[in-house]
Amino acid sequence: MKKYTWNALIVLAFFFLLPMKASAAVREVEVYLYQEYADCVFFVSWQNAQQPASVTITAPDGTEIAATEENSEFGRGRVDVNVGNAGSGYWRVLVEGDALGIISVNGGNRKDTSVQYNAVQSFTAEMAEDGSIRLGWDVAVDQDTVNLSVAAVQGVSNGSRTVYQDYSVSKTGTVAVSADNLPTGLYRFNIQVYDGSGQYTLTTEEPLYIRQTDAPGRLENVKAGSIDGEMYITWDPGRTSNYVVTLYDEALSVLRWEYVYENFYSITSEDDLDRIKVSVAAVDGNIWGEFDVYEVARTIPSGVISFPKEEVTKENVIPVHIECSSEATAGVYLDGKLLLENATSGDYELNLAEGMHEVVAYIEDTNGNMSTFSKSITVDRTPPAVKLNSEDVLKTASDSIVIEGSTEPNATVMINGVEQEMGSGSFMVKLALEKGVNPVTVSAYDVAGNKSVKTITVERMGSIAGNWTNFILPGVLFLVLAGWYGRLNKKPKEGLSE
């Protein structure tokens, strides 16, 4: 038996794997139509053609057009969506699917064969040593210059930021742009080219990590996991109390971000996802700090912890049985103080001081996922006090007596072995008395099993009438007999005198 002579007990728990519901990656490509098209088609394609994808297009007025068999032509790694009459303005193309690679979007008149292929042959976005973003492109069109713009995109809900635009730039070239206007984060870049007849768009595949100048450093001891199936991320407080937590889908597109002001964040999502990616960074004014991305799964390690079911006990040695896998460990807290950590399967004994205790135990796997159990337990080794409203020795001529008293609430009281009804710790009972000495035993038991006993003695005396009969009547009888005897002696004497 492993023993821990702590002033506490804690109970631990384990996890089992749940079916995982992860967010499908949603990529957004924003296309600006410089003119109206009477019969507009968006030609959408993706690099990893073996992967399935769905496409939804949002018009400038907010109208959503989903790609269906009625309005689209589907092919391997591509879909051509006919949106009909298309007005000038920004159109959003959402492509949902996993591991799609580079996404290409062209838009223009359906009858214009030039827009059915993407004139953007290549597009790159890289971080330079001086902290700037270096953009490069190659566009295959007849003219030497094109209308070109590049936008940084984080996710569907985060919109896009234009980082470079030139209405007449060489169709092949490079340029360095400042990253100072972009908060520290992960970005994909979309290039859009307009050659006078069609729009051609290409997006980078992998997100690029952008760091703001003077960005605060990474937070320390960041830990992400799940507690009882609820996902969380926590970290050591930094020199500032302002933080930003960002949630990502599988492709590291931003789902949402939120400012927080304490070093713990409970992760929730509208779709109740079982797997998600998350980061946390310090915020200094308008500058977001550096970060790492962590993947969190709603996982419950398997295992079992058993401990006494009583909430109140007079025993100060508490047995605890732990069963967990070899890849998990257990820990125990008492009243907020860590008493046991890195525990493995086995039987333990913990010592608790007298009083009330809050015990919390956990089992943790190698990924930081935890399960917890909590229990309130009171060690009570003090017998309940019994107070009687009478002396220890009583004498009475009555054939009964009323015993009144009190003890602690919730205690059980027995008088001469008979359990009594209690009222908030008080009791009252009428007892019949035999002639002579009557012992009365009052016992009290609290919920922990502690016992108090008090005994009184009640002597039942004879009645006043009985005492007169016993002592006065014999005297009277003696006098009567004496008188009668005197008369008998007197008669013979009278005869002699005659």
Q: How confident is the model at residue 17 (pLDDT cuts 50, 70, 90)?
A: very low
Q: Which residues pair with 67 in a beta bridge?
A: none
d(CA 14, CA 373): 10
Residue showing tokens 């070899």: 326
What's the pLDDT at 497?
Answer: 45
Closest CA to 339 of 347, 232, 221, 330: 330
d(CA 130, CA 134): 10
**Residue 303, H or E segment:** strand 303-306
pTM across the whole model: 0.67
pLDDT at residue 496 above 80?
Answer: no
Q: Which CATH architecture has domain 387-460?
A: Sandwich (2.60)
Rounded average pLDDT over 286-310: 90
What's the pLDDT at 334?
Answer: 86
pLDDT tens per residue across span 49-92: 999 999 999 999 999 999 999 999 999 999 999 999 999 998 99
Q: Which CATH class is domain 26-210?
A: mainly beta
One-letter amino acid at 389 equals: N
pLDDT tens per residue across span 396-408: 999 999 999 999 9
**What is the homologous superfamily of the domain 2-17+300-379 according to CATH?**
Immunoglobulins (2.60.40.10)
Q: How confident is the model at residue 480 (pLDDT cuts 50, 70, 90)?
A: low
Give me the chain's average pLDDT, please.
86
What's the pLDDT at 20?
Answer: 47
Q: How confident is the model at residue 15 (pLDDT cuts 50, 70, 90)?
A: very low
Identical fold, 2-17+300-379 and 387-460: yes
What is the maximal distance between C-alpha atoms in the chain? 189
pLDDT at residue 476 above 70?
Answer: no
What's the pLDDT at 472?
Answer: 54
Domain ranges of the chain: 2-17+300-379, 26-210, 223-297, 387-460, 466-498
What's the pLDDT at 45?
Answer: 92
Q: How confident is the model at residue 24 (pLDDT cuts 50, 70, 90)?
A: low
Q: Which residues contact 184 (CB under 8 A, 6 or more apart)?
A: 210, 211, 212, 215, 281, 287, 288, 289, 290, 291
What's the pLDDT at 9?
Answer: 29
pLDDT at residue 208 above 90?
Answer: yes
Task: Identify which has the larger pLDDT, 468 or 184.
Answer: 184
SS3 79: strand
What's the pLDDT at 463?
Answer: 60
Task: Identify which has the larger pLDDT, 1 or 379.
Answer: 379
Q: Which of 136-145, 266-275, 413-422, 465-474 has the weakest average pLDDT?
A: 465-474
d(CA 239, CA 22): 34
What's the pLDDT at 492?
Answer: 53
**What is the homologous superfamily of the domain 223-297 according to CATH?**
Immunoglobulins (2.60.40.10)
What's the pLDDT at 373?
Answer: 84
d(CA 171, CA 120): 9
What's the pLDDT at 21?
Answer: 52
Buried b (16+ CB within 10 A) or exposed e, 306-317: ebeeeebbbeee
